[in-house]
Amino acid sequence: MSASAPRTYAESGVDVGARATALRALLESSRYRAPPSHGRPVALPGHFAGLVRIGGETLALTTDTVGTKVLLADRMDRWEEVGEDLVGINVNDLAAVGARAAGLVDTIVCARPDDDRFRAIGRGIRRGLEAAECALLGGETAVVPDLVHGIDLGGTALGFFPKGRRPITGDRIRPGDLVVGIPSNGLHANGFTLVRRLLSAAAVDLERPRPGGREPVGVELLRAQRMYAKLADAVADRAGVHGLAHLSGGGVRNMVRLKADVAFSLDRWPDPPPLFRWVQGLGPISDHEMFQTFNMGIGFVVVVARDRATEILARLRRSGAPDAVEIGRVERGRGVRLPARSLSYDGYA
C-alpha cells in the first residue's frame, strides 16, 4: 500500500539471524555445569522449557515476554489482553513439554506506574490464571523511565509433571506419526513489530474494522491468545502422544524444536483465517515469511502415533478443542514442509 512497508520481519527491525548469532555467543560464554547437590538439569537444548530434577520431582521453567504487542495495547489503551497474554505465552510453552503450570511470576518494566493500567493488566493476568488454573507466586515491577517506553510485560512459569507422567520432548516422534493442530484465535503475541510497521505504512485506522471484520481491527489484533495448557494436560498422560509444540515466534519452524531428524509434512494446513490474509496483503508479505513469523491459524500442535490418532483427536475435541484437526504427518527427512504452498524450512531460528 506504501513504498515504505516492510516485506519481512528483518526489514521491520528484527533481524532473526543476528539474534541467533548473538544468542549463540551468550550461550557459549555462559556454559556452566552445577554440582548435583543443586538439582540435575535435564538436557533439552532449544526446547520450549528448561527441565531440572529436584528430589523426586521434575520441574519445568519457561520465560517469555509479550513483546511489542504492548505498544498496540498502549495505542488502543486496552491492557487486559496483554495481561492475559503474559500468562498464555508462558503456560503454553510449559504445555509444550507436557508440564502442568503450578505458578507464575510476572515482570513489569515500565516508565511510570499507573493505577488504571496496572489494574487492567491485573484483570487480564487473572483471566489467564483462571484459564490455566495457575497461581501467581510473585513478581517484579521496575520503574525505569530511562530504559523503556511504556510498559514491557514478561513472566516466568513453573511447571511440574503429575504423578506417573514423563516430560514429552518429541524424542519418540517417528515417520508415520500424524500431526494434529489446534486452531489459534488470532495473532497471539508474535510478529507485532512487523504488524505495527505495516499498519503504520498503510495508515490503517485501528478504530474501524478491516474489510470483512466485525470489530475495530485494533481490538481484533489485540485478542488474548488461546490457552492450550488444559488441552495439552488432557492428553499428556495418553500413550501415543509423542510431541507437543506451541507455534509462537518462529511460526511453523517451532516444530523443528521437537525433533531434528524427521520431516513434518503439513499437507492439510487449513486456509489461514482472514485476519492473517489481511495482514499479509498490507505488505504484501510472502507466504514463506508469514509462516515463519505468525501462527497462521494453528496455535498448538500435537504429534501422535497413527494408531492412537482417532482416540486422541476425540479426546481433544471433548476437552475444549472441538476444532482440532489433522494437519499433516511425519516423514523421513528434516525440517518443516507445506507442500501445497511449496514452502520448506530447515531449522528453528
Q: Is 247 in the site for a copy of itself (CB under 8 A)?
A: no
Residue 267 buriedness (CB in 10 A; 0-12 / 13-18 / 19+):
middle
Segment interacting with a copy of itself, rule: CB under 8 A, options 61-69, 167-175, 178-186, 339-347: 61-69
Q: Record the cell numbers describing residue 341, joined without a space.
A: 504452498
CA atoms within 13 Å, Cβ hemisphere of 178:
17
Q: Is 201 in the site for a copy of itself (CB under 8 A)?
A: no
Q: Is 253 in the site for a copy of itself (CB under 8 A)?
A: no
Name residues contacting a copy of itself, limited to 283-322 (CB under 8 A).
none
Tell me if residue 193 falls in helix, strand or coil: helix
Distance of closest approach, residue 236 Cβ to a copy of itself, in angstroms: 13
Residues whose CB is less than 8 angstroms from the CB of residue 286 and which lie 6 or more positions away in sequence, other chains included: 7, 8
Q: For residues 46 and 97, is the Cβ–Cβ distance under 8 A? A: no
Give 87 or 330: the residue with its C-beta nearer to a copy of itself.
87
**What single-letter DSSP state applies at residue 149?**
S
**What single-letter DSSP state applies at residue 151?**
E
The correct pick among 1, 2, 4, 22 for binding a copy of itself (CB under 8 A) is 22
Question: What is the C-alpha to C-alpha distance for residues 138 and 211, in angstroms, rounded to an integer?
Answer: 42
Question: What is the C-alpha to C-alpha distance for residues 280 and 273, in angstroms, rounded to an integer?
Answer: 11
The contact mask relative to a copy of itself for 113-152 (x = CB under 8 A, - = no) is xxxxxxxxxxx-xx--xx--xxxxxxxxxxxxxxxxxx-x
Distance of closest approach, residue 178 Cβ to a copy of itself, in angstroms: 29
Q: Record the cell numbers describing residue 220, joined without a space.
A: 481484533
- Nearest CA-CA partner of 317 in 183, 221, 202: 183
Q: What strands lie across the sheet with 100-110, from one edge to the other?
A: 40-42, 50-54, 57-65, 151-160, 100-110, 135-143
Distance of closest approach, residue 187 Cβ to a copy of itself, in angstroms: 16
Give 167 or 328: the residue with its C-beta nearer to a copy of itself.
167
Segment interacting with a copy of itself, rule: CB under 8 A, options 66-74, 291-299, 315-323, 326-334: 66-74
- Nearest CA-CA partner of 68 in 200, 158, 182, 185: 200
Q: Record the cell numbers describing residue 205, joined without a space.
A: 485506522
Give 39 or 347: the residue with its C-beta nearer to a copy of itself.
39
Q: Is 203 in the site for a copy of itself (CB under 8 A)?
A: no
Name residues contacting a copy of itself, limited to 27-56 (CB under 8 A).
27-35, 37-39, 41, 49-52, 54-56
Name residues contacting a copy of itself, limited to 88-117 (CB under 8 A).
100-103, 105-109, 112-117
Q: Is 4 in the site for a copy of itself (CB under 8 A)?
A: no
Give 269 or 348: the residue with its C-beta nearer to a copy of itself.
348
Name residues contacting a copy of itself, limited to 157-176 (CB under 8 A).
158, 160, 162-163
C-alpha torsion sign, points 327, 330, 335, 341 = negative
Phi, psi of 97 (to 5 degrees): -110, 5
Which segments of 167-320 are extended strands (E)?
178-183, 241-246, 263-265, 298-304
Distance of closest approach, residue 60 Cβ to a copy of itself, in angstroms: 9
Q: Is 347 in the site for a copy of itself (CB under 8 A)?
A: no
Question: What is the C-alpha to C-alpha distance for residues 164 and 236, in angstroms, rounded to an integer?
Answer: 11
Give 136 or 325: the residue with its C-beta nearer to a copy of itself.
136
Q: Is 204 in the site for a copy of itself (CB under 8 A)?
A: no
Give 121 or 266: the residue with its C-beta nearer to a copy of itself.
121
Give 237 or 287: the residue with its C-beta nearer to a copy of itself.
237
Give 227 or 309: the residue with its C-beta nearer to a copy of itself.
227
Distance of closest approach, residue 265 Cβ to a copy of itself, in angstroms: 29
Give 141 or 286: the residue with its C-beta nearer to a copy of itself.
141
Q: For residues 196 and 6, is the Cβ–Cβ distance under 8 A? A: no
